[in-house]
Structure 1
């Protein structure tokens, strides 16, 4: 885990919070603001910025990404509205070492499916179900300091099959009252970048106010943070000279 101060961006499409009364009551300043405030408290030396879909270049300019250690991504219904050029820019920075935390329905985001190379499709049921988030890898730093299980009173059900490549690590598994199970916390490495996907957090429930969920996200940020400030993007080298 890193011990240095980090530069973070919490990105959110921020559509439900401007339109849906139930969501506005839960997240009046946006999901991104709740997550950013929690990270600022838990990682007090870090600089936490926010960006949304409506910002110029979605708030993810080259200058902004070059100064970012970890990007957190929440999206739901506007995945197609994210500019392809911005997605490619984010992807380049992840391959170069920037950490990426993909949250909840961000599994269908362009950036996540592009990096994984699969559809990331899953089963879901929006019924206010209880979710138990079980720690599958207790020794992993992302699981540090969280109970086993984390109990979420109301949440959208996500269930297998989950169309992702075999994760590097499965940190959390969730179970629901219908008998469904889901790989709710998994990691990947792409290029020099670390990726953590964490599913709890539907917009219709106050999941991001849950202190244990906030702790997992903060742990994920520290784990995904690059070990160097230098962004080192992998490139194909020329042919090797014959011996």
Structure 2
């Protein structure tokens, strides 16, 4: 199974505070633990030609992992349309943290995807609310993160097809932090943690959730449904 990890790769190059946490980029940290889990992994970044997401790359990608924040507006609509079609055709998509405001996530959700936020380095407790779900296999009742950016409800998304994780923050807010959506033949998982100034993606439970999610949203090997005019199965 081929996973492509996409990242803007802007914060790490422009801000020393972020570079000190992810010197080679968030995408390289995610790619490394996914490779360790046995996936074939490639990476792509915003400033590559076609953002690194050529038709050839996407045609060979089973699961696309997306992290973006400061340059959502720079992502080409043409590339967004290309990703959108691949998801409808069955490619899995994992959207991380501030990717909630990415063009591709908003296009797939059909809503503003807006929310409350606060950067105070408070602790986050993610509660597993669907303990039988494959995405939280090997995870206990909670995931504890010492420092994270707060996201709070209301999160303007459609009701998830499956709600897997809910966050609580020290300041009192809660948030739907692990959400599965079905679009066409593809599955999407939104996973909230991952602010760029905190070492969230080095945390084993976070890595476990993303690894499990990659397996869960991977394409199902079956024929694509047939649409259009149909001949009757029985005599009319």
Q: TM-score, normalised by structure 1?
A: 0.93
Residue 147 of structure 1 and its aligned partner are, at CA, apart by 2.3
Matched, 1:40 2:35: yes
Structure 1 runs of 4+ aligned residues shifted over 4 Å read 238-241
Task: Give the alignment partner of residue 12 of structure 2, picking from 17, 35, 54.
Answer: 17
User: For 1:145 and 1:236, how far apart are their aligned partners in 2?
Assistant: 39
Q: Deviations over 1:92-148 (max 9, x none)?
A: 000000000000000000000001100100000011010001000000000100122
Q: Deviations over 1:60-85 (max 9, x none)?
A: 11111110100000000101100000
Partner of 1:137: 130
Matches within 5 A, 1:186-197: 186-197=179-190
User: For 1:239 and 1:69, how far apart are their aligned partners in 2?
Assistant: 30
User: Which ranges of structure 1 fall in alignment gaps of 5 or more residues?
Assistant: 1-5
Please tell me the root mean square deviation across aligned C-alpha atoms, in Å.
Answer: 1.5
Partners of 1:147 and 1:212 within 8 A in 2: no
Matches within 5 A, 1:5-154: 6-42=1-37, 44=38, 46-154=39-147
Partner of 1:205: 198
Task: Give the alignment partner of residue 150 of structure 2, picking from 135, 144, 157.
Answer: 157
User: For 1:235 and 1:109, how far apart are their aligned partners in 2?
Assistant: 31
Q: Deviations over 1:19-67 (max 9, x none)?
A: 100100000000000000011112x2x2100000011100111111110
Matched, 1:237 2:228: yes
Specify the SS of the correspondent of 1:27: coil
Equivalent residue pairs, number: 233
Specify the SS of the correspondent of 1:202: coil
User: For 2:94 and 2:84, how far apart are their aligned partners in 1?
Assistant: 13
Q: TM-score, normalised by structure 2?
A: 0.95
Residue 229 of structure 1 and its aligned partner are, at CA, apart by 7.9
